[in-house]
Structure 1
């Protein structure tokens, strides 16, 4: 009897130890759920039958949630795939299947290659009980979080309700304001860099590209410097106003990526009912670029008794390299 009791005690102890080892892995909750996905730097795209909420992380982890017209998560009957296209890289786009995350309330997960390019196109094609949800995101190296953060920073510069000097769309990008405008007759695109008074200034050594989405699909325009580097120039493949524009601006070793007209937490309407961004205008390109820098003379003297002139460029950022002195 004593041996049997000892044996039962040993078996019970082993069972408890086994459960203790197994329970953390089994009970570990999902990192992102239907309740928390919107608080994890997600973008929401509104389709006719519902919406898609999606996050893309720098390491390539993607989470997605489909909601019905009433905003309720759809947990059953959802399937889909991602297609990843990196501009400038040859070969067929990479694909990844979206699979349900256990105990996440309808969240789907997938793994794509890490975001190594300054802009990566992530297309999605979902089916919800046979109903299609199709769209694409253009994300920077920082993923959807970077797009949310850049949108928050852009709010400090108020351009809503204003038009550019050529009648185009205004968008803060990093320390700059740009005007995106296209000729209605030819489809020629120009992007101007503006100062705080919305006057065009030379583009300097900046580089820019636009990821444009229309009803016919996404496209990426790498714009070239115009004559005397007064503006950027390119051409639309289709002469229609886009529904989404993602702007990539490189300047001084830094890259800024913003989603045009987007505000943190807002919903991006896609599909046939999506509002367009009115970049197409009738223009004669008559607006001149101010090539003269603003010169400000400091009243105080420096250590060697010489006055200091500072040249102000672009939006008015003081450039330490732009100093001249004379006796």
Structure 2
């Protein structure tokens, strides 16, 4: 009997210990909260009724926080879905409902398929305090983190307000500076690769696609090489200046993806009040393409604060941007 009593005491003690170990797991803190989501590679889109803070991970994990006009997290009464539309797959989009993350201060989560393409369209539709918030993100395989990191890499070089030789929008993508421009009459799009003097050079073996977002819709345009590989060409389905352009440039086994004009941790204005990217211009395509890339030799003792480009290769226009402080 004494042995049985000892066994019962041991079993009770073991059960108590097991319960004590399990208790912290039940009260586990959320991975991301309303206070920390901005520090976890999230993009913020500002709508009229409020803002959407969203992070998309490579494995398809989505975390969202909706804020009111005053920037305060809305902790209750938010519902909605996120939809993944993979380009060129031919299948139906995947739509998943968001669920609240307990003890997170208003963060909602959803699990989409993993990001397998170099550019994937992720749309969202939310309802909060009687208002609807709809939008689209074009994200690379690395998710929103990759967009944030690529924005950091190019933030020292200022091209804001500078127009390209054809009057289009300029953007640095990896080691390239490109011009995005479209004919406002036909909707024909061209993308040029530019040299040190912002003159077009041959595109080499690059590949480029654009994720276009505008009021009322979005699209992904896979551009084709133009004659003699002097530029890329494509066509807008709607002749309206976009509010967002996400650019993919592949070259030499490397892929770079950037959101045009985006700075790390900045707010992206969307909706009717969003500023547009003026790529639609009246053009005659009269700008000539330089036959060979420029070679610039940089003297490290020169401290004039200029932006330096170093080019090499036959017709590829490979180069490196550096901003000296």
TM-score (norm 2): 0.88
Query: Per-residue displacement from partner, 1:143-200 (whole Å, max 9, x unpaired)?
Result: 0000001111122332122110011000000100000001111111100001122111
Q: How far apart are the structure 1 equivalents of 2:152 and 2:296?
A: 32
Matched, 1:41 2:44: no
* RMSD, aligned α-carbons: 2.1
Q: How far apart are the structure 2 equivalents of 1:20 and 1:62?
A: 32
Note closer, same or farther for the CA distance 1:106–1:295 as it changes in structure 2 (3 Å cut): closer
Indicate conservation of the 8 Å contact 1:295/1:311, yes or no: no
Partner of 1:217: 217
SS in 1 for 2:204: coil
Partner of 2:198: 198
Partner of 2:286: 286
SS in 1 for 2:22: helix
Indicate conservation of the 8 Å contact 2:208/2:222, yes or no: yes
Q: How far apart are the structure 2 equivalents of 1:284 and 1:244?
A: 25
Indicate conservation of the 8 Å contact 1:196/1:315, yes or no: no
5+ residue gaps in structure 2? 298-311, 321-325
Partner of 2:317: 314
SS in 1 for 2:273: coil
Query: Per-residue displacement from partner, 1:108-154 (whole Å, max 9, x unpaired)?
Result: 00000011111111101111133111111110000000000111112
Partner of 2:305: none
Indicate conservation of the 8 Å contact 2:73/2:106, yes or no: yes
Note closer, same or farther for the CA distance 1:290–1:42 as it changes in structure 2 (3 Å cut): same
SS in 2 for 1:149: helix
Task: Report how far residue 224 of structure 1 moved.
Answer: 0.7
Task: Report how far residue 285 of structure 1 moved.
Answer: 0.7
Query: Per-residue displacement from partner, 1:194-218 (whole Å, max 9, x unpaired)?
Result: 1122111000010101110111211
Q: How far apart are the structure 1 equivalents of 2:225 and 2:154?
A: 24
Indicate conservation of the 8 Å contact 2:210/2:248, yes or no: yes
5+ residue gaps in structure 1? 298-309, 318-327
Residues paired across the two proteins, number = 303
TM-score (norm 1): 0.87
Q: How far apart are the structure 2 equivalents of 1:8 and 1:68?
A: 57
Whose radius of gyration is greater, 1 or 2? 1
Task: Report how far residue 16 of structure 1 moved.
Answer: 3.3
Partner of 2:237: 237
Indicate conservation of the 8 Å contact 1:181/1:280, yes or no: yes
Query: Per-residue displacement from partner, 1:241-298 (whole Å, max 9, x unpaired)?
Result: 000100011101111110001000100111111110110111111100001344689x
Q: How far apart are the structure 1 equivalents of 2:119 and 2:138?
A: 6
Task: Report how far residue 97 of structure 1 moved.
Answer: 1.1
Q: How far apart are the structure 2 equivalents of 1:101 and 1:228?
A: 54
Q: How far apart are the structure 2 equivalents of 1:127 and 1:289?
A: 49
Matched, 1:252 2:252: yes
SS in 2 for 1:182: strand
Q: How far apart are the structure 2 equivalents of 1:226 and 1:12?
A: 78
Q: How far apart are the structure 1 equivalents of 2:255 and 2:156?
A: 19
Query: Per-residue displacement from partner, 1:79-108 (whole Å, max 9, x unpaired)?
Result: 111111000001210111100001000000
Partner of 1:60: 60
